[in-house]
Structure 1
């Protein structure tokens, strides 16, 4: 059973910061220093620096999140659970603390608690892909427990063994297809911080906003620092000029980019008419909500903030016919919270414009 828990813990995705931490509000050096210490496996030193920072700024959600990740690396599971639990109490709108809390519970075999934590993460942010994936793994482990119990009560049941074998295959260690970072040191967790990169700035009507942490904490993507890629072996070939993108595709990409920027500007300005109009009537609402319920939820969340700021960087757009995919890093700030995360928008050409049909965080 202990081995099974270990395999599941490696399967579940714990949020981490890939790349140097950089923060706003003048703390860039502190976050970077802590991140570097963690990468060097100097967890005790990192924890000392985090505690020093929190003595002066005890409410800092980013540094508190980092502390939980460091505690986890030091095998101080109980302390890490306390840290993440307190974060969920102080910042219930952030999904990342719930996700990491679930990973810790799963590592202890407390799958019901892990399930509840992940369901809270998803309720907070229905498009949080990492939590959905982790919840699937936890459900599989709960199913395994139920099937084992069924066999104990009825050893002659011939239907259950094949189901158990299938689940065991899912959690079987696979060195070839292992998820990046499995079995490796967890790198400093990403706290909700902005990423320094030339950005497509979306000014807010009023200064502000939000970590959805899930917002406010780490970025919703995660795992350990990938190994340095091995340069490919060159194969002699006649060099050919790379064809320039067709003018029609280039024009479409510019139109999609304009639509994405307009969507972010409407969000920053709390312009609900413009924001909701950016979504297609066929938009895949999270959690299978009705369109009206989703619009009310978004309106309440956005207009309930005193100020919001949304900035997009690393914007990459791919157009295929009447469909497009826009991937970017989103720096979201609202009131006292801030978070940087990866986001993907799927759009479809409808009339002369491009409207959002689906969105996901953490891809």
Structure 2
């Protein structure tokens, strides 16, 4: 089940159309950087939201032609704006204009190679055309750009599974008596069949409520992995406040480009995602942070859960610099080390 982001700024929303071969493409929306209403779940909000909010309202109302006209009007005066260009790609995708959507996202990867979301959406569109080698290459670029981009990792797993399915099918065509390929192919097909049923269930659960009351799916925002109830001492105000303070200090160190404080917020046991060596990760972070003229990192809607000496912090991260404005969902897993809380795992996206 492939997941696309509706902008670097759309959060989970609804399932999309089925892709060839029975594989379902569930389109996950990250709220347009400047605006999606709370009815879509967690959203990302940035300054100067009006043009994005107008387009978002039209998209949510299903007025895609009007939304596309708005994006074209905006881009006529600000053709380089990455958020609006991304949103145009999303509208083209929703309108079934796949070739134009691919061109829009491909152009974004060329002009803003540091953004992983356009690569991810390219992969979803390629997968919808059964171009799985192209999808794999696009997802590998997304992960190289942001190793903690969880959605891209999940999608890459799906692409590998589809490629494996094709390879096993070919093996059976060439050798009908192959006793090893058949059960493997059956396993993969059953996996995606289960995914499809799960996606349909999620779609039904996420249907908008007909009344004004908040929809029940808000409950589904709880962590997928159950966490044992913490003791009152572990979840007390002091423990939670200490974690919140650690997260804010991490963001402030990043904003100040204070590399000793920023890197010091990560525990010695922190291992970057994607198998990257710690030394390489630190060098990459320095290269991304130090040259910027200005950086501001805001932590919004911070939600902290403490369980003994471990904690999880979930929030909306608003990153702005002299070259880029991006809002995303961020999760930090932390452990207590003496009187400090240090990051052991960092992930972006769903």
Alignment of 1:153-232 (within 5 A): 153-172=174-193, 177-178=198-199, 227-228=208-209, 229-230=215-216
> Deviations for 1:11-51, whole angstroms, at most 9, x for unmatched residues?
5x55443833876563x222111111111111111111111
CA separation in 2, counterparts of 1:4 and 1:349?
45
Quickly say closer, same or farther: Cα 1:153–1:4, change in 2 above 3 A: farther
Superposed displacement of residue 249, structure 1 = 2.4
CA separation in 2, counterparts of 1:172 and 1:303?
47
> Deviations for 1:151-184, whole angstroms, at most 9, x for unmatched residues?
11111101111111111112216675216776x9
Quickly say closer, same or farther: Cα 1:255–1:346, change in 2 above 3 A: same
Question: TM-score scaled to structure 2, two decimals?
Answer: 0.82
CA separation in 2, counterparts of 1:134 and 1:141?
11
3-state SS of paired residue (2:336): strand
CA separation in 2, counterparts of 1:99 and 1:256?
32
Matched, 1:287 2:308: no
Matched, 1:276 2:291: no
Quickly say closer, same or farther: Cα 1:302–1:22, change in 2 above 3 A: closer
**Conservation of the 8 A alpha-carbon contact between 1:322 and 1:349:** yes
3-state SS of paired residue (2:160): helix
Superposed displacement of residue 9, structure 1 = 4.2
- Residue 284 (structure 2) aligns with: 297
3-state SS of paired residue (2:292): coil
3-state SS of paired residue (1:177): helix
What stretches of structure 2 of length at least 5 have no aligned partner? 1-16, 38-42, 210-214, 219-230
3-state SS of paired residue (2:23): helix
Superposed displacement of residue 336, structure 1 = 2.6
- Residue 239 (structure 1) aligns with: none
State which of 55, 70, 76 in structure 2 corresponds to 1:49.
70
Quickly say closer, same or farther: Cα 1:55–1:22, change in 2 above 3 A: farther
- Residue 132 (structure 2) aligns with: 111
What stretches of structure 1 of length at least 5 have no aligned partner? 185-223, 233-243
CA separation in 1, counterparts of 2:29 and 2:249?
30
- C-alpha RMSD over aligned residues: 2.6
Matched, 1:10 2:31: no
State which of 116, 121, 127 in structure 2 corresponds to 1:95.
116
Question: TM-score scaled to structure 1, two decimals?
Answer: 0.79
